[in-house]
Amino acid sequence: MEMLNFTVGPVQANEEIRAMGQEQVPYFRTTEFSNLMLENEQLVKKFAHASEDAKAVFLTASGTGAMEAAVFNTLTKEDKALIVNGGSFGQRFVDLCALYEIPYTEIKLAFGESLKKEHLAKYANQNYTAFLVNVHETSTGVRYDMDLIHDFCQANNLFLIADNISSFLADEFDMAKLGVDIMIASSQKALACPPGISLLILSPKALDRINNHNVQCLYLNLKLALDNATRGQTPFTPAVGILRQINKRLNQIDVAGGEATEIAKVRDLALYFRENIKDLPLENISESYSNAVTALKPQRENAYEIFTKLKDEYHIWICPNGGEMKDKVFRVGHIGALTTADYDRLIAALKDLKEKGIL
């Protein structure tokens, strides 16, 4: 029996994308592949509402590769960064700034806590230069208030790096309006393709920083990537097959009505699931939600046991949490090729576990 996948990535891909996985991978130093890449750039910019003069680059790396590239290609020891740290992905930005010796301050949030005005107030007018945030902190299901962050960054003239990896195509996002300088996404979340490709959309301010900065790295050097991207190419052999699947998927979304239609589909699935588990002893622990994920705390604090039971006895993957939260929280994703019938199967399994006294 095939597993039903409600994790947050890799997620289920639709039939057409899966079928492409069987095709021969073509040679890529060709006009045809360049055109495909230029179309990928144009469509991701369109779906992110990026400004005309923004540029997109595609890296053959998981999402963390793009986070790392963003940090060391644009920030220096002269910067002073503010980092929202509300979970394991916020912590990743902290680890990266520590590694590259970028001066930083963490805004630490409790598990599931949202970002509020009062968290930011004391950092106003303190000579910060950059702001790093995961739009959706996937480990806790919290989606941050990007309007609040935008206002703060505008008032304090901060360079804004937004890891939108788990929120892109799941929640509304307007890069230009939000004044985001770098938006990061990757292939295995709502794009619903295999893992292996991440992308950055770069504002003119980000391009300036990249062009004026000499980095000690070849593979993730964004100046090199940008030079190649102008002709629809990459400096090194990319994951050609995944880039073709991404192209197909972006075109599917475009034809179906664009990112708004895709986001509405994810939102409807999230609402359907949340509505239909109201009678179960599960508490939604996020103060402000993304459509991408529901983070739940079972009354008996046996989250990992529930994950294991669903996997082994019901052929269903939900997403376990790590570390301290291992037994407290599990997450259910709403991205990827899923239907309400799939959720009916998950909800029936959860009800069954309740009858057995496990949930």
Ligand X SMILES: *Cc1c(COP(=O)(O)O)cnc(C)c1O
- 8 A C-beta contact, residue 161 and residue 149: no
Task: Say how far apart CA 202 and CA 187 lie, in whole Å.
Answer: 17
Count Cα atoms within 13 angstroms, Cβ side, for 300: 11
Q: Single out the residue of 14, 34, 42, 64 in contact with ligand X (rule: CB under 6 A).
A: 64
Give the interface segment with ligand X, choosing from 159-167, 261-269, 329-337, 347-355 (CB under 6 A): 159-167
Residue with the shortest CB distance to ligand X:
63
88 binds ligand X (CB under 6 A): no
Give the interface segment with ligand X, choosing from 104-112, 160-168, 252-260, 299-307 (CB under 6 A): 160-168
Q: Tokens 């930083």 belong to which residue?
A: 104
187 binds ligand X (CB under 6 A): no
Instruction: Please state the closest distance from residue 221 (CB atom) to ligand X, in A.
Output: 19
Q: Single out the residue of 60, 74, 186, 290 in contact with ligand X (rule: CB under 6 A).
A: 186
**For the residues of 94-146, what is the DSSP string, one character each?**
HHHHHHTT--EEEEE--TTPPP-HHHHHTTTTS---EEEEESEETTTTEE--H
Give the interface segment with ligand X, choosing from 57-65, 113-121, 250-258, 299-307 (CB under 6 A): 57-65
Give the interface segment with ligand X, choosing from 76-84, 161-169, 338-346, 349-357 (CB under 6 A): 161-169
Q: Tokens 């990266």 belong to which residue?
A: 96
166 binds ligand X (CB under 6 A): yes
Locate 39 and state its tokens.
Answer: 């179309």
Instruction: Please state the closest distance from residue 308 (CB atom) to ligand X, in A.
Output: 22
Q: Single out the residue of 130, 161, 165, 185 in contact with ligand X (rule: CB under 6 A).
A: 165
Task: Say how far apart CA 300 and CA 222 lie, in whole Å.
Answer: 48
Instruction: Please state the closest distance from residue 86 (CB atom) to ligand X, in A.
Output: 10
Size of residue set near ligand X by CB under 6 A: 12
Task: Say how far apart CA 188 and CA 198 lie, in whole Å.
Answer: 9
9 binds ligand X (CB under 6 A): yes
Task: Say how far apart CA 321 and CA 291 lie, in whole Å.
Answer: 18
Q: Distance between terminal CA atoms of the chain?
A: 24
Total residue length of the chain: 359
Closest CA to 42 of 32, 29, 52, 30: 52
60 binds ligand X (CB under 6 A): no
Pairing of strands 104-108, 81-85: parallel
Instruction: Please state the closest distance from residue 165 (CB atom) to ligand X, in A.
Output: 4
Q: Which is nearer to ligand X, 92 or 309 (CB)?
A: 92
Site residues (CB under 6 A) for ligand X, limited to 124-143:
134, 138
Cα pseudo-dihedral 275, 278, 282, 284, rounded to 10: 50
Q: What counts of helices (H) and strands (E) characterise the chain?
A: 13, 15
Give the interface segment with ligand X, choosing from 10-18, 61-69, 328-336, 347-355 (CB under 6 A): 61-69
68 binds ligand X (CB under 6 A): no
Instruction: Please state the closest distance from residue 183 (CB atom) to ligand X, in A.
Output: 12
63 binds ligand X (CB under 6 A): yes
Task: Say how far apart CA 75 and CA 159 lie, in whole Å.
Answer: 9
Binding mask of the shown chain, residues 188 to 227, with x at each position contacting ligand X by CB under 6 A: -x--------------------------------------
Locate 107 and state its tokens.
Answer: 């805004």
89 binds ligand X (CB under 6 A): yes
Task: Say how far apart CA 354 and CA 308 lie, in whole Å.
Answer: 15
Q: Which is nearer to ligand X, 164 or 233 (CB)?
A: 164
Instruction: Please state the closest distance from residue 230 (CB atom) to ligand X, in A.
Output: 26
Q: Which residues contact 123 (CB under 8 A, 6 or more apart)?
A: 82, 105, 107, 156
Task: Name the residues that contact ligand X, by CB under 6 A.
Answer: 9, 62-64, 89, 134, 138, 163, 165-166, 186, 189
